[in-house]
Amino acid sequence: MFHIADLVQPDKGLINPSIYTDPEIYQAELANVFARSWLFLAHDSQLPKKGSFLQTYMAEDPVLVVRQRDGSVKAFLNQCRHRGMRICRADEGVAKAFTCSYHGWAYNIAGELVNVPMEDRAYHNEIDKSQWGPRQVPRIHNYKGFYFGTWDDDAPSFEEYLGDMAWYFDAMADRYDDGLELVPGATKWVIDANWKFAAEQFASDMYHVPISHSSGFVALFEDPEIRALAAGALAAPGRQFSGNGHGSGSGLRPDLVPDPAGPDFDAFLIERREEIYRRLGEQRALAVYGHNTVFPNFSWLATNNTMRVWHPRGPGRIEVWSWAYLPKNAPEEAKRASRLNTVRTFSPAGVFETDDGKNWTEVQQVLRGHIARQTSFNAQMGLGHEERDLDGMPGRTAGDMFTEMAGRGMYQRWADLMSGLSWQEIAELDKRRREQEEAKQS
Ligand code: FES
Ligand SMILES: [Fe+2]
């Protein structure tokens, strides 16, 4: 048995590392965190036609996401109701129906069982096919082209779930008039670390950048001027946001350019400057351009145009699915520059990705130790220096990018869910916490 309140104390900035290793806690996470939260399923651009489908996961549960004839999107468990085989084994494609490769039960794109081999001879025409479709994901929400789903009927609406994070999400999703597209195909790899290390880092951790990625900066930026620029960006002030378990943070940039993707992308940004400022406002366009996590496991880095889901695979393993995202209808050279930047930096062999993965797997190794697993971690950076609505940035904010406020926020939401609180109770608790914080600030 474990007691969440003893393991995670966000108000004190304390974490017991068994939350990264304990198999019992992991199983509880699948039930209390992943099966109750909104999880990223797909982007519009991945499902271009009627019958377009892809398979993905909601935590460990395989699901099929399918574009319907009326343009809507459905998702259902990729599990045949006969003996549980995957209904579809292809990663993606366009289908009129899905036929299970084990005994041949067939389902339409809405996930209804439509054909059973030898229905008369083997089943004596007694099977009620309407009862044997795969489990449907009951709630799906399209947020600006990003489809999220949840199994939980009691979860708040997606907008409520995002809360103030919407403002930060929009800095990515709403940046261009024509929207975004994902480069076809996900890059997938497995690392031996707990999913929370990755989700937390993308929510909250700029602190590792100058240290962990110093060799990457040297390797990537031969030009001393560009290297100085990167150093300047880290020395500049920054901001962080935390709310509902989500996190976002950036250094404050003086201008949209230079972009890490280089001159061809700069040319595109200069051309679109007015458009971006009109859509987001200049302050947001410049201030929200960094790391982000939508709780629990959807993250992106605006500086490198990479987006990913940290699919949990046991307490000590993550299956990373990452995509490069691009401004739709950008010139080919700009898209190419952006893609190359993503591949060079955040892909399985990217100079920064490998630094991050190595850190997480090393920590996971240390936690094989019995004593190490019980020795608490310090997550106190910036504790007590939170502010609200700093410079018009909505929600709980901090006046520097070097803080662990969003990490603590993520663990708070995690602990609330893991403690078995209802969504209603969590909302009330959050309200009280906010009032206390506001009272302290005024
Ligand atoms: S498991 Fe799918 S038809 Fe038997
Ligand atoms: Fe990193």
DSSP 284-341: HHHH--SEEEETTTEEEEGGGTEEEEEEE-STT-EEEEEEEEEETT--HHHHHHHHHH
Do residues 348 and 330 both lie within one domain? yes
Do residues 198 and 259 both lie within one domain? yes
Do residues 64 and 164 both lie within one domain? no
Q: Whose CA is closest to 199, among 408, 407, 412? A: 407
Per the structure, how many domains does the chain have? 2
Do residues 299 and 339 both lie within one domain? yes
Do residues 22 and 58 both lie within one domain? no
CATH number at residue 313: 3.90.380.10
Long-range contacts of 342-345 (CB under 8 A, 24+ apart): 342/183, 342/304, 342/305, 342/306, 344/220, 345/216, 345/220, 345/260, 345/304, 345/306
Whether the ω angle into residue 296 lies within 30 degrees of 0, i.e. cis, is: yes
User: What span, in angstroms and rounded, lies between the C-alpha atoms of 404 and 204?
Assistant: 6
Catalytic residue among 6, 91, 208, 385: 208
Other CB atoms within 10 A of residue 130 CB: 8
Do residues 133 and 178 both lie within one domain? no
Task: Give me the domain span that covers residue 65.
Answer: 39-142
- Domain end: 142, 171, 203, which one? 142
User: What is the predicted pLDDT for the residue at 439?
Assistant: 87
Residue 80 Cβ contacting ligand 1 at under 6 Å: yes
Domain presence at residue 149: no
Do residues 130 and 45 both lie within one domain? yes
User: Ligand 1 centroid vs 36 CA: distance in angstroms?
Assistant: 28
User: What span, in angstroms and rounded, lies between the C-alpha atoms of 348 and 312?
Assistant: 17
Domain presence at residue 46: yes
Q: Would strands 14-15 and 377-378 be described as parallel, antiparallel, or unpaired? A: antiparallel
User: Ligand 1 centroid vs 138 CA: distance in angstroms?
Assistant: 23
- Domain end: 92, 112, 142, which one? 142
Residue 113 Cβ contacting ligand 1 at under 6 Å: no
Do residues 293 and 388 both lie within one domain? yes
Domain presence at residue 151: no
User: What is the predicted pLDDT for the residue at 217?
Assistant: 83
- Domain end: 116, 142, 168, which one? 142
User: What span, in angstroms and rounded, lies between the C-alpha atoms of 434 and 388?
Assistant: 9
pLDDT tens for the chain, 442 residues long, are 789 999 999 999 999 999 999 999 999 999 999 999 999 999 999 999 999 999 999 999 999 999 999 999 999 999 999 999 999 999 999 999 999 999 999 999 999 999 999 999 999 999 999 999 999 999 999 999 999 999 999 999 999 999 999 999 999 999 999 999 999 999 999 999 999 999 999 999 999 998 999 888 887 777 776 677 777 778 888 999 999 999 999 988 889 998 989 999 999 999 999 999 999 999 999 999 999 999 999 999 999 999 999 999 999 999 999 999 999 999 999 999 999 999 999 999 999 999 999 999 999 999 999 999 999 999 999 999 999 999 899 999 999 999 999 999 999 999 999 999 999 999 999 999 999 888 887 7
User: What is the predicted pLDDT for the residue at 401?
Assistant: 93
Kind and range of the H or E run holding 53: strand 52-58
Do residues 426 and 412 both lie within one domain? yes
Do residues 19 and 55 both lie within one domain? no
Domain presence at residue 425: yes
Do residues 250 and 287 both lie within one domain? yes
Domain presence at residue 414: yes
| 356 is known as an active-site residue | yes
Do residues 308 and 330 both lie within one domain? yes
* Shortest-distance Cα residue to atom 3 of ligand 1: 103
User: What is the predicted pLDDT for the residue at 230?
Assistant: 75
User: Ligand 2 centroid vs 14 CA: distance in angstroms?
Assistant: 22
Domain presence at residue 389: yes
Kind and range of the H or E run holding 246: strand 246-251
Domain presence at residue 17: yes
Domain presence at residue 150: no
Residue 267 Cβ contacting ligand 1 at under 6 Å: no
Pocket test for ligand 1, best of 79, 82, 127 (most atoms within 8 A of CB): 82
Pocket test for ligand 1, best of 78, 79, 86, 105 (most atoms within 8 A of CB): 105
282-334 pLDDT per residue, tens: 999 999 999 999 999 999 999 999 999 999 999 999 999 999 999 999 999 99
CA dihedral over 108, 110, 114, 116, signed as positive or negative: positive
